Amino acid sequence: MTRGGQTRSREAEAERKCVATGETAPKGGLIRFVADPEGQIVPDVLEKLPGRGIWVSANRSALETAVKKKLFARGAKAPVIVPDGLPDLVETLLLRRVTDLLAMARKSGDAVAGYEKVKDWLYKDRAEVLVQASDGSGRGKSKLSTPYGGSFIGWLTSNELGLAFGRETVIHAALGTGGASKRVVEEAARLKGLRLDDDERRQGPPERN
């Protein structure tokens, strides 16, 4: 593996402690926050902003706990200002991140949308990830199955997927085996934590027929 590959691997395996739960986990499952020069808490979903990082598990209940118990101030070791509706803001930022990544995958030829195209990719084992709109017909979605050993994303709406694919709505999409797929899955998993409750998050993907 290249030196660059080793660096990315180490970063992916790096762990951080959630200020809300006290649990340590790979940072891919947490959200980083920083305090700006005025002391306002800012979500750093790209993990690039300067400053002391404050990490919270990527789920709504953990974020709500951090806000309610004023744990951001403890993490920053200084008084801070927490914006109203912080969990909703984080969800919006993660959604934008996921749709941007899907759009990039589409432009590079590593993603397709539409029932027939997705079915073709699944049949030819070109698909690594099955993506289906949360508000799509259950009967229609049941006709396609998650690739064996692959991943499933099912918590974006048809309008949101449409934005990523340059259409009004999209119900079915698939990602290939390129490098973009892994990043989409990782970011979509964080978005899932902000959208679904604990029981829904524990549900697995549709089984392969």
- The pair of three-digit structure tokens given for residue 72, joined into one six-digit string: 């951001």
Q: Quote the pLDDT of residue 11.
A: 55
Helix axes 60-68, 86-107, angle to 10 degrees: 140
pLDDT, the chain, mean: 89
Question: What residue ranges of the chain are covered by domains with CATH 3.30.1230.10?
Answer: 3-83
Strands (E), 97-138: 111-113, 129-132
What span, in angstroms and rounded, lies between the C-alpha atoms of 23 and 28?
Answer: 14
Question: What's the CA angle centered on 201, arms 203 and 188, to 5 degrees?
Answer: 115
Decide if pLDDT at 33 tops 90: yes
Q: Quote the pLDDT of residue 4.
A: 42
pLDDT confidence tier of residue 5, bands split at 50, 70 and 90: very low
Task: Work out the number of other CB atoms within 10 angstroms of the CB of residue 136.
Answer: 17
Tell me: domain 3-83, CATH 1.20.120.1810, correct?
no
Q: What is the mean pLDDT of residues 107-126?
A: 96
How does pLDDT run across 47-104, given as a tens digit for each residue?
999 999 999 999 999 999 999 999 999 999 999 999 999 999 999 999 999 999 999 9
User: Could you say which of 3.30.1330.30, 3.40.190.10, 1.20.210.10, 3.30.300.30 is the CATH number of the domain covering 89-202?
Assistant: 3.30.1330.30
Give percent of the chain above pLDDT 90: 84
- What is the reported pTM? 0.86
Question: What's the CA angle centered on 15, arms 99 and 192, to 5 degrees?
Answer: 30
DSSP for residue 35: E
pLDDT confidence tier of residue 179, bands split at 50, 70 and 90: confident
Decide if pLDDT at 207 tops 90: no
